[in-house]
Amino acid sequence: MVKIAVTAESADEARVSISPDTVKKLVALGCEVYVETGAGMRSRFSDDQLKQQGATIVQTATEALSGADVLLKVRRPSTEEFSSLKTGAVVAAMVAPHDDRTGLEAAAKSGASIFSMEFMPRITRAQSMDVLSSQANLAGYKAVVDAASMFDQAMPMMMTAAGTVPAAKTFIMGVGVAGLQAIATARRLGSIVTATDVRPATKEQVQSLGAKFIAIEDEEFKQAQTAAGYAKPMSEAYQKKQAELVANHIKNQDVVITTALIPGRPAPRLISRAMVESMKPGAVIIDLAAERGGNCELTKAGEIVDHGGVRIAGPLNLPGTVPVNASSLYAKNLLTFLQLMIDKDGAGLKIDWEDEIIKGTLVARDGAIVHPALAPKEG
Ligand code: NAD
């Protein structure tokens, strides 16, 4: 029988790697699920609820980990957790593989097979395992809700006997998964929404959500999407034209949500200090790229900066502020991923090391870091 362990996350992480729903499904697959007491509490999954679905609640992380075949986590497990695992155990988590290389090497030495959910290939078959999408969607939603609550005015237009309240103007920069949900949420709140991106495919998506698309649509823009569906870094000439367009537009905006990212690079700088200074006091910028250096020059990761009355927030873990949904979706992503590995009768793990999804997410195996994206750089 496959033994699955779930331990509590650190104090700054409210999400958890299972839900009552996924416990039930894992048990139905023939697995045993051991959960450290209280691990689901911050996602409102009580020990009792998990127990009702078939989980075994244990008092300590060590008890959960002892003899486990699989450890499911949100963040990278601690050194102690890795050392409590048996050799060859499977670990699936958002391990932030580019961070803390020394820690990752030590984790690899435990002999665990470590899977990084952030490396999930963006192919149709893996869509239901795509943690970046499931979490970015919630981040896009929450960014707008937080902006609306920080904003000193109402979002929708209201025509009342005492006068008219104008609709807020919201500008979304970067229209990937988070940006699309931000557009939809801002529209639902009654805001007038504009959006920009460098990938031509986003134009129609923006318009279909009832927002206005603005961008420099030159020859470079037409080629700006990679085969994998991501944005390319843009040339200096393009960035200059884009900055002029943004400068003209942003000064009239009330709320700006930035989500622009380029894989493996620092976030593109889209909002300069001068642009912030052109905005009205009371305007709000939420920079979802804060962790990767920020899309705004004045962003400070994890803080809210007030610059002449314009507030710039650089939240670090927005999905973690809607933990009930974020955990449910993340747990579902993990369940679908695990189903690839669990033998049909639940008797054991049967991993096809050649599977594109397994290969794409496997960071470490047999004591060494094995993912090509983590190979030491030459020279
Ligand atoms: P992301 O987080 O890498 O980037 C966010 C957005 O920022 C992207 O739309 C990008 O084009 C944009 N951006 C980058 N540089 C910019 C700049 N200088 N100015 C303005 N915008 C800029 O993107 P994501 O949300 O991960 O989505 C990327 C793509 O992957 C999309 O096409 C999405 O539809 C696709 N996708 C596919 C799957 C799948 O098939 N399984 C799953 C999820 C996403």
- What tens digit of pLDDT does each residue of 7-62 get? 999 999 999 999 999 999 999 999 999 999 999 999 999 999 999 999 999 999 99
Nearest to 333 by CA among 182, 132, 148: 132
- Nearest residue by C-alpha to atom 27 in ligand 1: 176
Task: Please tell me which residue in 19, 116, 133, 134 is annotated as part of the active site.
Answer: 133
Mean pLDDT of 327-333: 98
Tokens of 254: 């009330």
Assign 345 to helix, strand or coil.
coil
* pLDDT tens sequence across 146-169: 999 999 999 999 999 999 999 999
What contacts 348, CB < 8 A, 6 or more positions away?
2, 69
* pLDDT tens sequence across 72-110: 999 999 999 999 999 999 999 999 998 899 999 999 999
Mutate which of 197, 220, 221 for ligand 1 pocket (most atoms within 8 A of beta carbon): 197
Q: Is residue 315 lining ligand 1, measured as CB closer than 6 Å? A: no
If residue 92 lies in a helix (H) or strand (E), which one and from where to where?
strand 90-94
* Distance (Å) from CA 17 to ligand 1 centroid: 25
Task: Please tell me which residue in 230, 272, 278, 355 is annotated as part of the active site.
Answer: 230
Tokens of 113: 């097979």
Tokens 């060494």 sit on residue: 368
CB 55 within 8 A of CB 31: no
Answer yes or no: 78 catalytic: no
pLDDT of residue 229: 86
* Distance (Å) from CA 230 to ligand 1 centroid: 5
Instruction: Look at residue 186 and tell me whether its pLDDT is greater than 90.
Output: yes
Instruction: Look at residue 120 and tell me whether its pLDDT is greater than 70.
Output: yes
Q: Is residue 175 lining ligand 1, measured as CB closer than 6 Å? A: yes
Instruction: Look at residue 296 and tell me whether its pLDDT is greater than 90.
Output: yes
228 pLDDT band, cuts 50/70/90, is confident
* Distance (Å) from CA 129 to ligand 1 centroid: 17
Q: State how beta strands 113-116 and 90-94 pair.
A: parallel
Nearest to 104 by CA among 370, 316, 369, 375: 369
Q: How far apart are CA 71 and CA 96, in angstroms?
A: 16
CB 95 within 8 A of CB 363: yes
Q: How far apart are CA 159 and CA 156, in angstroms?
A: 10
Indicate the DSSP class of residue 271. B
pTM: 0.95
By CB neighbour count within 10 A (0-12 exposed, 13-18 middle, 19+ buried), where does 293 fall?
middle
pLDDT of residue 345: 72
Instruction: Look at residue 379 and tell me whether its pLDDT is greater than 60.
Output: no
272 pLDDT band, cuts 50/70/90, is very high
Instruction: Look at residue 378 and tell me whether its pLDDT is greater than 70.
Output: no
- Nearest residue by C-alpha to atom 34 in ligand 1: 176
Instruction: Look at residue 346 and tell me whether its pLDDT is greater than 80.
Output: no
264 pLDDT band, cuts 50/70/90, is confident
Instruction: Look at residue 377 and tell me whether its pLDDT is greater than 80.
Output: no
Q: How far apart are CA 156 and CA 268, in angstroms?
A: 31
344 pLDDT band, cuts 50/70/90, is confident
